[in-house]
């Protein structure tokens, strides 16, 4: 990995998300009181303000809500892969997350594409949840 | 020009009496403090006001120049009010809003609001991440804040985040990338008439099509410039304003609001599907600022819309109530925002892709010129101007009026 890859350095609120990714499971905080899923992680439910939540496995499926193709200038760690895509995925459970689509040509990017998560191990300690298009 | 029917305690009780700007350029090789001193002195000179009598200082929360540095350099021994706005470009108009609150409530008699930048892409001056070059490029090998949800996926620059917002708007409403381009073209036309603008050459829509993509659909000419410079605005009471050199410009109202922010896209998209006022800073601010002034969007003659990227203009026009949601793109395509024939000329100095990027304080200066009748793209008889902060940050707006 590039020495300046922007590795997550999560705090206590965030670390479980990355720990579960390392085990190839997509888990989000789910409010113990009202059942709302939330992402990005945070210490309170934005709907009912409860502090009680459980890291709950989600299906890992969703749709492309938005996408872009990124050209220079980029972070040094990404310089050798331009142009590359970035997407916003709406998970079937509701929350949105930023990621990348793998295995798709830039010309085929579109909103509404059905996707599923795929875990990409960058090294022994960091796994990124990326997505691929689901073909019927 | 305080309207008789407003009950707002700030509306009409502060006035802009001076504007000061340095030259705007790339790689000027001067410190932010040096630039700030020039802009503040120019604003005082514009007003005919002694800088030693200025008793308040307002700036951005990410401003490099500390109040004590400015006060020491300029001998401002009377400063008794200091405050900073939130959220980068979101605070663009709110520096004037804060100054007006201070003056209207008697906390200070005269407040200078300023922003100084040394942000040319190759500028090497200064060791702070917010000095010299691009702050987002200095993230290093670890990210512990909200950036951990974007940067590992290569989403790092504001352009990357804004591109994802722009594409969503296109998907929801049928907005086209060329409509963003038409705003870029209009602003570069405005800049071509402005001797202070960095980009003096006009561009066509074909030039926009040929410009290199930065983060699709955003192209290079949609982006704010990377430059140096400083702008300062002097605010005082309407009573004091009467004795000064220039015709005063009244602060008709100010408002602030918090909404989903581009550096937390998971939240931005969570709320953007409802277009509810609770979820969008601009809609909240619009209701407040127009209500406090006793005005409506139809009363606005000219608007300075924070344009970190041109796609922010149609989104702002919608949220501030100049058109229905989803109609911002067609509004630009119809030429509404282009001087001289458009019904609501926007960023008549050339904006952030034409004149300069001073985090939007230069937009305040242009609004003042419009209301003095001295813009290089003058809207005939302009009486009311709206100035907004970034639509994708916690933000603010001010309505300004010819006194």
In sequence order, the β-bridge partners of residue A88 are A66, A98
Distance from the B162 Cα atom to the nearest Cα atom in chain A, whole angstroms: 10
ω into A73 cis (within 30 of 0) = yes
Given a cut of 70, whether residue B273 has pLDDT beyond it is no
State the total domains in chain B. 1
pLDDT digits (tens, 9 = 90+) for B35-46: 999 999 999 999
Q: Considering only CA atoms, which of B40, B348, B23, B142 is closest in space to residue A126?
A: B142
Asked if A86 lies within 8 A of B153 by C-beta distance, the reply is yes
A37/A31 Cα distance (integer angstroms): 6
- On the question of pLDDT at B1 being above 70, the answer is no
**How is chain A split into domains, by residue range?**
11-58, 59-136
Q: Which domain holds residue B279?
A: 15-121+224-402
- Which of A75, A94, A95 is closest, CB to CB, to B154? A75
CB contact under 8 A, A75 and B137: yes
Q: Given the DSSP bridges, would you call strands B81-85 and A37-38 parallel, antiparallel or unpaired?
A: unpaired
Cβ(B256)–Cβ(B97) below 8 Å: yes
Token look-up 């408002």 returns B255
**pTM score of the predicted model:** 0.95
pLDDT the model gives residue B123: 66
Is the domain covering A59-136 a CATH 1.10.3470 domain? no
The fraction of chain A above a pLDDT of 90, given in percent, is 97
Tell whether the torsion through CA atoms of B134, B94, B311 and B367 is positive or negative: negative
Whether residue B227 is predicted with pLDDT greater than 80 in this model: the reply is yes
Burial class (CB in 10 A: 0-12, 13-18, 19+), A80: exposed
Cα separation, B403 vs B218, in Å, equals 39
DSSP A134: P
Here the CATH number for the domain that contains residue B289 is 3.40.47.10
Contact indicator for A78, B154 with CB cutoff of 8 Å: yes
List chain B residues with CB under 8 Å of A40.
Answer: 146, 149, 264, 266-267
The residues facing A130 across adjacent strands are A118
- Give B167 to chain A, closest Cα distance, Å: 6
- Chain B residues near residue A70 by CB distance under 8 angstroms: 154-155, 160, 163, 214-216
HEC assignment per residue over chain B: CCCCCCCCCCCCCCEEEEEEECCCECCCCCCHHHHHHHHHHHHHHHHCCCHHHCCEEEEECCCCCCHHHHHHHHCCCCCCEEEEECCHHHHCCHHHHHHHHHHHCCCCCEEEEEEEEECCCCCCCCCCCCCCCCHHHHCCCEECCHHHHCHHHCCCCHHHHHHHHHHHHHHHHCCCHHHHHHHHHHHHHHHHCCCCCCCCCCCCHHHHHHCCEEECCEEHHHECCCCEEEEEEEEECHHHHCCCCCCCEEEEEEEEECCCCCCCHHHHHHHHCCCCHHHCHHHHHHHHHHHHHCCCHHHCCEEECCCCECCHHHHHHHHCCCCCCCCHHHHHHCCCCCCCCCCCCECCCCHHHHCCCCCCHHHHHHHHHHHHCCCCCCCCCCCEEEEECCCCCCEEEEEEEEC
pLDDT value of position B176: 97
Say if CB B66 and CB B92 are below 8 A apart. no
For residue B138, what pLDDT is reported?
A: 80
**What pLDDT is recorded for position A74?**
95
Q: Which of A9, A65, A83 is opposite residue B144, by nearest beta carbon?
A: A9
* pLDDT for the residue numbered B271: 73
Task: Tell me what ipTM this predicted complex has.
Answer: 0.98
Q: How confident is the model at residue B125 (pLDDT cuts 50, 70, 90)?
A: low
Instruction: Output the average pLDDT for chain B.
Output: 92
A120-129, B98-107, B258-267, B334-343: the lowest-pLDDT one: B258-267
What distance in Å separates residue A35's CA from the closest CA in chain B? 16
Chain Cα centroid distance, residue A5? 17
pLDDT interval class at B124 (50, 70, 90): low
Asked if residue B278 has pLDDT above 90, the reply is: no
């Amino acid at each position: 990995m590039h020495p300046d890859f922007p590795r997550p350095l999560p705090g206590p609120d965030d670390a479980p998300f990355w720990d579960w990714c390392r085990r190839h499971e997509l888990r989000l905080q789910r409010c113990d009181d009202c059942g709302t899923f939330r992402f990005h992680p945070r210490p309170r439910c934005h709907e009912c303000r409860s502090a009680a939540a459980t890291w709950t496995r989600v299906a890992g499926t969703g749709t492309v809500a938005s996408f872009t193709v990124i050209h220079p200038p980029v972070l040094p760690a990404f310089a050798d892969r331009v142009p590359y895509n970035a997407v916003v995925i709406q998970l079937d459970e509701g929350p949105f997350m930023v990621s990348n689509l793998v295995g798709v040509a830039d010309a085929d990017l579109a909103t509404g594409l059905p996707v599923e998560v795929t875990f990409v191990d960058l090294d022994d300690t960091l796994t990124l949840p990326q997505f691929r298009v689901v073909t019927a | 020009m305080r309207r008789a029917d407003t009950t707002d305690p700030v509306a009409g009780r502060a006035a802009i009496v001076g504007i000061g700007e340095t030259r705007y350029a790339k790689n000027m090789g001067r410190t932010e403090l040096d630039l700030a001193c020039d802009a503040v002195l120019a604003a005082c000179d514009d007003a005919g006001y002694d800088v030693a009598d200025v008793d308040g200082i307002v700036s951005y929360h990410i401003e490099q120049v500390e109040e004590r540095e400015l006060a020491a350099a300029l001998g401002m021994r009377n400063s008794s009010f200091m405050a900073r706005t939130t959220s980068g470009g979101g605070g663009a108009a709110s520096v004037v809003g804060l100054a007006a609150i201070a003056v209207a409530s008697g906390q200070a008699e005269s407040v200078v609001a300023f922003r100084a930048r040394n942000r040319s892409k190759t500028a090497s001056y200064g060791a702070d991440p917010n000095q010299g070059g691009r702050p987002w490029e200095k993230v290093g090998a670890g990210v512990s804040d909200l950036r951990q949800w974007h940067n590992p996926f290569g989403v790092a620059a504001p352009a990357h985040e804004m591109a994802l917002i722009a594409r969503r708007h296109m998907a929801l409403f049928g907005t086209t990338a060329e409509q963003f381009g038409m705003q870029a073209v209009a602003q570069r036309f405005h800049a071509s008439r402005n001797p202070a603008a960095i980009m003096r050459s006009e561009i066509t829509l074909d030039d926009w099509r040929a410009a290199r993509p930065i983060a699709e659909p955003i192209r290079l000419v949609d982006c704010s410039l990377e430059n140096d410079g400083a702008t300062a605005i002097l605010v005082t009471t309407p009573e004091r304003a009467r004795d000064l050199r220039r015709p005063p410009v009244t602060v008709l109202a100010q408002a602030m609001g918090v909404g989903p922010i581009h550096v937390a896209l998971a939240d931005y998209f969570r709320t953007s599907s409802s277009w509810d006022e609770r979820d969008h800073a601009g809609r909240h601010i619009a209701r407040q600022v127009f209500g406090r002034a006793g005005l409506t969007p139809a009363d606005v003659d000219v608007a300075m819309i924070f344009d970190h990227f041109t796609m922010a203009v149609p989104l702002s026009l919608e949220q501030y109530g100049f058109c229905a949601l989803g109609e911002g793109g067609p509004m630009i395509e119809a030429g509404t925002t282009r001087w001289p024939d458009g019904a609501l000329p926007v960023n008549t100095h050339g904006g952030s892709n034409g004149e300069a990027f001073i985090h939007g304080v230069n937009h305040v200066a242009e609004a003042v010129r419009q209301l003095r009748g001295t813009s290089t793209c003058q809207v005939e008889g302009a009486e009311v101007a709206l100035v907004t902060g970034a639509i994708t940050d916690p933000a603010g707006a001010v309505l300004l009026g010819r006194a």
